[in-house]
Structure 1
Amino acid sequence: MKVYSIYILNKAGGLIYQNDVNPGLTKLTANDYLVLAGTLHGVHAIASKLSINIDGMESHQESTANANSALLVSGRSQDANNNKSGLQSIETDLFNLYVFQTLTGIKFIIITSPNPGELKKSYDSANEVFKQLYIVYSDYVMKDPFYSLDMPIKSFLFDTKVKEFVT
């Protein structure tokens, strides 16, 4: 699986990071990236409201509350991906798109090469990329004393580390 692009959206849907790590997709303008981020945020929000709440299954609010409780009790999250009811993936002939959401509402969007085969296997591979990306994000963005939350990420070290594990 080849990663083409990585986007990070804040909890309000603003694009705070965009990196086309491997060529393969058409280059967009800065405005197009912002429109894409807003659209994906909106579709994710609508999809989370449309998800079916089957008896016996917990709702999105309940799952978030349970995840927060587990985090407070154990000191660590059980699963870094908190995207249980929104848009999770889009599979096309040209690319695959995966959306991962943290407990704080930050969305990581990964666009990869298409993987003909089992979608679950592709999703698991993307989940591994997400975990590595989240570790790099935590180490080089969140621990940066000069970074302000919800502002664009302008870290050369973060860019370098992202390119290291993706390529």
Structure 2
Amino acid sequence: MAIFGLWVINKAGGLVYERSFGDGLPRLTSNEYLVLAGTLHGIHAITSRLSPTGSSSGAQVIEGETFKMTILLTATGTKFVLLTSLAESTADAVLQKVYEAYGDAVMKNPFHTPEMPIRSEGFDRRITSLFG
């Protein structure tokens, strides 16, 4: 299982959580991550309008030559993005577990402000245990 990174993007397109795993991704500046998250948010919005058969929730998987981005859009508009190798087949299940950890550790925290950066040790611990 080759998982390179995890992003959480709020409903406005802002990056609220970023975590890299291993050496699969080059290290970017925080500003570059913000630009990438905003761009992906825009692409996702455009792809939700392109469906020839009616409504769509937007792109769910974007594949490049050497990586795959799997996107989970929640009912609140938050996007969870998992960057993996092309051969990764469990990305959807992993994103569901990340979403559960987010609900338990972040959204149940009375001190967390929705749509703001995630600063939760509990969430970090759950992500670390999930990805090793």
TM-score if structure 1 supplies the norm length? 0.75
How many Å separate the matches in 2 of 1:93 and 1:14? Answer: 26
Which residue of structure 1 aligns with residue 82 of structure 2? 110
The structure carrying a bigger helix percent of its residues is 1
Structure 1 CA distance for aligned equivalents of residues 57 and 125 of structure 2: 32
Task: Please list every run of 5 or more consecutive structure 2 residues that lacks an aligned counterpart in the other structure.
Answer: none
1:14-73 C-alpha deviation (Å, 9 max, x unpaired): 1111111332111111010000000000000001111112xxxxx43xxxxxxxxxxxxx
Matched, 1:91 2:47: no
1:154 aligns with 2:119: yes
Aligned AA for 2:72? F
Consecutive unaligned residues in structure 1, runs of 5 or more: 54-58, 61-83, 116-120
Moved more, 128-137 or 86-95: 86-95
> If you compute each CA radius of gyration, which structure gives the higher value, 1 or 2?
1
Q: What secondary structure is seen at the aligned counterpart in 2 of 1:22?
A: coil
1:134 equivalent in alignment to 2:106: no
TM-score (norm 2): 0.94
- Aligned identity (percent) is 45
Partner in structure 1 of residue 51 of structure 2: 51
The CA distance in 2 between the partners of 1:16 and 1:109, in whole Å, is 12
Residue 154 of structure 1 aligns to a residue whose secondary structure is coil
In 2, Cα distance between equivalents of 1:132 and 1:21: 17
Q: Contact 2:57/2:73 (CA < 8 Å) preserved in 1?
A: no
**Is contact 1:21–1:163 with CA below 8 Å preserved after alignment?**
no
Q: Quote the Cα distance in structure 1 between the aligned partners of 2:57 and 2:116.
A: 26
SS of 1:162's equivalent in the other structure is helix
Structure 1 runs (4+) greater than 4 angstroms displaced: none
CA-to-aligned-CA distance 1:133-164 (integer Å, 9 cap, x gap):
01110110000111000000011221111011
Q: Size of the alignment, in residue pairs?
A: 132
- TM superposition shift of 1:92: 2.2
